[in-house]
Amino acid sequence: MLVPDMTEEDRANLVKEALLVSDDDVFKEALEKAKGIMRLDDKGRLFPKVTLKDLSNKQKVELYIVSRYLAKLGGLIPDDAVSAREIGAFTGLDKEEVSRRGSDLRGEGKVDSPKPGSYKFVPGRVLEALSEIEGKSK
């Protein structure tokens, strides 16, 4: 696999040219995906552009938690932690189902739980989550 005539530095440069991306580029890509999936009002409230019934329960929960993360980044809300009750009120899922899906998302490393029954999205997983939701909604 390695090219014998290449130096280690040449290989490193090729890897960087092919794969290196900035945080800003990833963030811009995530925002482009988010624009196709959701809108936020000036209070950070989510207005989905996707049909919630087309999403799995886990994706509904994920969408809401991601929207809070983006609302906080946009300076629309002071904190992105969201309760199971709040997610349930938006998605129509009961608290137990929200807790199960939140647990699934924690197991996948997509959300943290700063306190029991509260969720925050892990920033490095936003693009992945939005891509999955975008693919499901088409």
Q: What is the pTM of this model?
A: 0.85
Q: Write out the H or E segment, with its range, that includes residue 22.
A: none
Cβ neighbours of 109 (radius 10 Å)? 11
Show the CA angle centred on residue 78, arms to residues 76 and 79, nearest 5°.
115
List, in order of start, the domains of the chain with CATH numbers: 22-137 (1.10.10.10)
* 12-43 pLDDT, tens digit each: 999 999 998 888 888 899 999 999 999 999 99
* 61-101 pLDDT, tens digit each: 999 999 999 999 999 999 999 999 999 999 999 999 999 99
Radius of gyration of the CA atoms of the chain, in A: 18
